[in-house]
Amino acid sequence: MADDVVVEFLVESNENLDLLDRELVQLEKDPSNRNTLASIFRTIHTIKGTCGFLGFTKLESVAHVGENLLSRLRDGELALSPEITTALLRMVDAIRQMLQSIEAIGSEGERDDAELIRILTRLHQGGGTASTESTASHASAPPAASNGHIVEPTEPEAKAPAMEAQKQNGSDPYGSRTEAVAPESSGEGAAAGSAERGSVSDASIRVDVGLLDKLMNLVGELVLARNQILQFTNSTEDSGLVATSQRLNLITTELQEGVMKTRMQPIGNIWSKFPRTVRDVAAACGKQIRIEMEGKETELDKTIIEAIKDPLTHIVRNSADHGIETPERRVAVGKPAEGRLTLRAYHEGGQVNIEISDDGAGLNGDKIRKKALEKGLITPEQAARLTEREAVNLIFLPGFSTAEKVTNVSGRGVGMDVVKTNIEKIGGTVDVQSKAGTGTTVRMKIPLTLAIIPALIVTSGGDRYAIPQISLLELVRIEGEAALKEIELIQGTPVYRLRGRLLPLVYLNRELKVELESAKADGNTVANIVVLQADDRQFGLVVDEINDTEEIVVKPLGKQLKGLKTFAGSTIMGDGRVALILDVLGLAQSSNVVSESRGRAHSEKETQTATGSGAKQTMLLFQCGTDGRMAMELRLVARLEEFKADVIEKAGDRKVVQYRGQIMPLISISEYLHVHHAEGNGAATEPMQVVVYSEQGRSVGLVVDRILDIVEEAIVPQKPSKQSGLLGSAVIQQKVTDLLDVRGLVRAANPAFFEDEEAVLQER
């Protein structure tokens, strides 16, 4: 039983210490904030009280002097100085070390905190005289500690029982924790505090992570069983079974989402340590750094949060240590003395983007080139060919460290290559962009969860393989004559011109050394190209067949198969058979798309143009009417679909289709814009081409006559259009093309679509 109490104490105290770090740094910025001070005092007091009860005397003595100091700060008898903050932070560190030791060996361990206690006591006593003088005198004038006379203040002790009593009010053991975490409206408001405490702790319970992991596994199994049942019901007529399996489908999906949510944690949990980290670095290097955070509440799976903790810390330290310059230097180049470090996290396309940017000196491409050359990581020819962006990304090469001198802050042997390896291990990517003089941005893309991922299922040589959707860019299908003609060879290496750029092709069956199905081998008139992203390079994977996208449950490979770089894992498909999950990066390496010590590969047009002309847009080109060429931004396109005429139904006077469990209205662009319809073509007979546009969970289908192409060009609208639904015209691929105003068109044709949004706007 005693063990349980200690474990509870450790968990609670560790949470409290994290809070302390944050609050102390916050307090330093705003020393007059009494609420923060009161909260800090309470936290230390709780630790002191509990460890005294449990008999950890060393811990208690450190917490005790800290508490004394804090009580005088709280009562306004002392003003906060950097020295006091540093001492308090040191105390937090000492407490943390002791807690770790208690966790490991059951006692505080052999340690001597006399010096820390002496410093804290000195500050505490010195404050008595200094509080009437200027704050600055703390640092310089050593107070009367030398006489070894320690004054035991009676005042905090008198207050302590009151605090204790307040805590006892909450009958639950977690009362003190929630109290510390919940922001209190007033420092003294004990009554309000306890009321709030009751509701917070009643609404949440602690659950063992192991249990959640087990639940997650079970849900994974359930998803597989569901997939199998759905496959069976596809071939049955029994309407009762079909209805039940539909219900099972929905419930399973919701359950899966629910269980995944239980494992989600806001990224703020790891960010909360960074203000302290940055403060320490800044203090050690004599810099001024402000840290800003956006999207703290962005949630990630617990395992992923843990995996990115160290890489993130490393990057933040790096930015603070090497990125941001000293105040003098900054002022000299016309920047504000205080450097800025921004952390940003946001969801995008089923993954989380994390950006760490600083407004420091930036990375010097030439210096990095030189350094990489010196270390023999690249050849002179390669160095000459590298674009600025590629050069900057050389810092991810193993054996590369940019710091000219190794400081004790960063550059302790953990290089950026380790960061990259760790991020890639969890299926993420990392990339750095920098402009000399203005700053550096490190951008990571991280999957939301590792356990269940969306994947594209393809067939090659008769077997199915799953490709994680995170690496998928687009699908290209070339049919008939074109398949033979458009795949060209450069000295035997197949390439395909994708929108004017050369896309290296990799044949999956050759890579895996599996034979083609004989039928396919003869009449090879269809080429299915899966365009994939590996590192910063694109390549096309040629497969026999593209099946579908599916949510798959990732299972690790057995020990016997661990050595295979080409496979990332395995999964069980709807029919119960096993399919292998392709490791896109591994595949790219084994087929030499990406050389193994990355960053060496040939320069790519994309990166050149990206740094060159800048703002390019990816546009979807389509045809409306006989010769109307139109374009819309690809990012507005949720999906491209084909609907047969017989699935189109009517709701009121509108055409609708049932789409993914919703009723989706269809808007014919040509009808709406009164363009001439291609008569005789009989739009009703062939499948209808629909561009699906989604917003806030609702979709609308834009009916077009033909999808033409996807282009990436810098679009300059020529003349603004008077017609509603059009933004104007531009020249794309040497032809005049109308630019569609998607939102305007949808609003005009179907005002109900934005209804909620407008209601919200009106409320404000």
Partner 1 sequence: MSAQQFCTFFVDRQFFGVPVQQVQEVIRYQEMTRVPLVSRVIRGLINLRGQIVVAVDLRRRLNAPDRAEDELPMNVVVRTGDGAVSLLVDEIGDVLEVHDDTFERPPDTLQSASRDLVLGVHKLPNQLLLILDTDKAVNGSGHDVELGRVEG
Query: Which spans of this chain sit near partner 1 (rule: CB under 8 A)?
Result: 221, 224-225, 461, 463, 512-514, 555, 558-561, 564, 566-567, 570, 572, 576-580
Least Å from the CB of residue 579 to partner 1: 6
- Give 266 or 461: the residue with its C-beta nearer to partner 1: 461
In contact, 410 and 314? CB cutoff 8 Å: yes
- Give 357 or 566: the residue with its C-beta nearer to partner 1: 566
Least Å from the CB of residue 222 to partner 1: 10
Alpha carbon separation from 296 to 173, 344, 446, 526 (Å, rounded):
28, 8, 15, 47
Distance CA 196, CA 194 (A): 5
- Give 167 or 555: the residue with its C-beta nearer to partner 1: 555
Distance CA 723, CA 725 (A): 6
- Give 334 or 563: the residue with its C-beta nearer to partner 1: 563
- Give 553 or 656: the residue with its C-beta nearer to partner 1: 553
Distance CA 495, CA 503 (A): 5
Report the residue count for the chain: 764
Strands 289-294, 339-348: pairing is parallel
- Give 384 or 561: the residue with its C-beta nearer to partner 1: 561
Quickly list H helices, 646-704.
669-672
Q: DSSP string spanning 593-654?
A: SS-SSTT-SPP-HHHHHHHHT---EEEEEEEETTTEEEEEEGGG--EEEEE-GGG-EEETTE
Least Å from the CB of residue 265 to partner 1: 27
Distance CA 663, CA 683 (A): 22
Least Å from the CB of residue 564 to partner 1: 6
Burial of 634 (0-12, 13-18, 19+ CB in 10 A): middle
- Give 443 or 555: the residue with its C-beta nearer to partner 1: 555
Distance CA 507, CA 515 (A): 11
Burial of 247 (0-12, 13-18, 19+ CB in 10 A): exposed
The token duo for 26 is: 């916050």
Least Å from the CB of residue 458 to partner 1: 14
In contact, 407 and 318? CB cutoff 8 Å: no
DSSP β-bridge partners for residue 637:
none
Q: Position of tokens 């189109």?
A: 648
Least Å from the CB of residue 390 to partner 1: 30
Least Å from the CB of residue 719 to partner 1: 56
The token duo for 352 is: 């989380």
- Give 143 or 586: the residue with its C-beta nearer to partner 1: 586
Sheet with 545-553: list strands edge to edge: 545-553, 452-460, 463-468, 578-582, 567-572
In contact, 304 and 446? CB cutoff 8 Å: yes
Least Å from the CB of residue 657 to partner 1: 36
Least Å from the CB of residue 38 to partner 1: 53
- Give 398 or 576: the residue with its C-beta nearer to partner 1: 576
Sheet with 706-713: list strands edge to edge: 706-713, 617-624, 628-633, 735-740, 726-732
- Give 239 or 518: the residue with its C-beta nearer to partner 1: 518
Least Å from the CB of residue 466 to partner 1: 11
Least Å from the CB of residue 598 to partner 1: 22
- Give 206 or 577: the residue with its C-beta nearer to partner 1: 577
Least Å from the CB of residue 512 to partner 1: 4
- Give 139 or 514: the residue with its C-beta nearer to partner 1: 514
Least Å from the CB of residue 580 to partner 1: 7
Distance CA 598, CA 315 (A): 19
CB atoms within 10 A of CB 250: 12
Helix (H) or strand (E) holding 301: strand 299-301
Q: DSSP string spanning 322-357?
A: IISPPHHHHHHTT--SSEEEEEEEEEETTEEEEEEE
Distance CA 360, CA 441 (A): 10
DSSP β-bridge partners for residue 650:
655
- Give 223 or 667: the residue with its C-beta nearer to partner 1: 223
Helix (H) or strand (E) holding 542: strand 537-543
- Give 560 or 685: the residue with its C-beta nearer to partner 1: 560
In contact, 512 and 458? CB cutoff 8 Å: no
Distance CA 251, CA 219 (A): 11
- Give 462 or 717: the residue with its C-beta nearer to partner 1: 462
- Give 444 or 585: the residue with its C-beta nearer to partner 1: 585
- Give the residue from 142, 136, 152 showing the smallest Cα distance to 67: 152
Alpha carbon separation from 532 to 267, 442, 528, 537, 539 (Å, rounded):
28, 22, 13, 8, 5
Least Å from the CB of residue 562 to partner 1: 9
Least Å from the CB of residue 494 to partner 1: 20
Question: Which residues, other chains included, contact 681 with Cβ-Cβ below 8 Å and sequence gap of 6+?
Answer: 705
Least Å from the CB of residue 508 to partner 1: 9
In contact, 237 and 182? CB cutoff 8 Å: no
3-state SS, one letter per residue, for 403-459 = CCCCCCCCCCCCCHHHHHHHHHHCCCEEEEEEECCCEEEEEEEEECCCCEEEEEEEE
Alpha carbon separation from 83 to 164, 335, 764 (Å, rounded):
30, 28, 47
- Give 561 or 748: the residue with its C-beta nearer to partner 1: 561
Least Å from the CB of residue 556 to partner 1: 9
- Give 521 or 564: the residue with its C-beta nearer to partner 1: 564
Least Å from the CB of residue 586 to partner 1: 11
